[in-house]
C-alpha cells in the first residue's frame, strides 16, 4: 500500500517567512493530502516529527523553520540540533523526515531580506515536496 498523506510541521517563529515553505510544498503535493502542524519554534520539531512518523499514516514528514541569530543564544547550535534530531527521527522510524530548516549567515528584519527569504522558502518547500515524492517512488521500486 502506497501512502499518499504527508505531514508538514512549521515553526511559528518568523511565521510570515516559514509559512511560505508550506505554500511551495502544496504547489507540488495537493493541500488535501497534507496534514499541517504548528510548533512554537524549531527546537520542538524533531519530537513531533518522530511521533507523526511513528503513526504509519505518512509517506513523509516535512519540517520548516527559520533559525536566526537572536543575539541571546548560538543559533548555529540550535540549527544543528534540530537537523540532527530530524535525521534521527527519520532513521529511527524509517519514514523520510525532510528539513526546510534554514539558518542564514546574514539576516536583518528588513523588507528586502524578508522578501528574499519568503521567496527562498517557497522554493525550498517545492524541493521538499519533490524529494518526498522521489524518495517514495524509489522506496516503492525497492519493495517491488
- In this prediction the pTM is 0.91
Average pLDDT over residues 21-32: 97
5, 50, 57, 74: the catalytic one is 74
Is 57 a known active-site residue? no
The domains of the chain, with CATH numbers, are 6-143 (3.40.50.960)
Q: Confidence class of residue 67 from pLDDT cuts 50, 70 and 90?
A: confident
Q: Which residues contact 68 (CB under 8 A, 6 or more apart)?
A: 14, 75, 103, 104, 107
Q: Considering the chain, what is the average pLDDT of its residues?
A: 88
Q: What is the pLDDT of residue 117?
A: 83
9: DSSP letter: E
In tens, the pLDDT along 99-126 reads 998 766 666 676 777 788 889 899 999 9
pLDDT at 24 over 80: yes
CA gap 93, 96 in Å, rounded? 8
Amino acid at each position: 500500500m502506497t501512502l499518499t498523506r504527508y505531514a508538514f510541521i512549521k515553526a511559528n517563529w518568523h511565521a510570515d517567512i516559514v509559512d511560505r515553505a508550506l505554500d511551495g510544498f502544496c504547489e507540488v503535493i495537493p493541500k488535501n493530502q497534507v496534514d499541517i502542524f504548528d510548533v512554537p519554534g524549531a527546537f520542538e520539531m524533531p519530537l513531533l516529527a518522530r511521533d507523526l512518523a511513528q503513526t504509519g499514516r505518512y509517506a513523509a514528514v516535512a519540517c520548516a523553520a527559520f533559525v536566526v541569530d537572536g543575539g541571546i543564544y548560538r543559533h548555529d547550535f540550535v540549527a544543528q540540533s534540530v537537523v540532527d534530531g530530524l535525521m534521527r527521527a527519520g532513521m529511527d522510524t524509517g519514514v523520510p523526515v525532510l528539513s526546510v530548516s534554514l539558518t542564514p549567515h546574514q539576516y536583518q528584519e528588513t523588507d528586502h531580506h524578508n522578501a528574499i527569504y519568503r521567496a527562498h522558502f517557497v522554493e525550498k518547500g517545492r524541493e521538499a515536496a519533490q524529494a518526498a515524492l522521489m524518495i517514495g517512488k524509489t522506496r516503492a521500486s525497492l519493495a517491488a
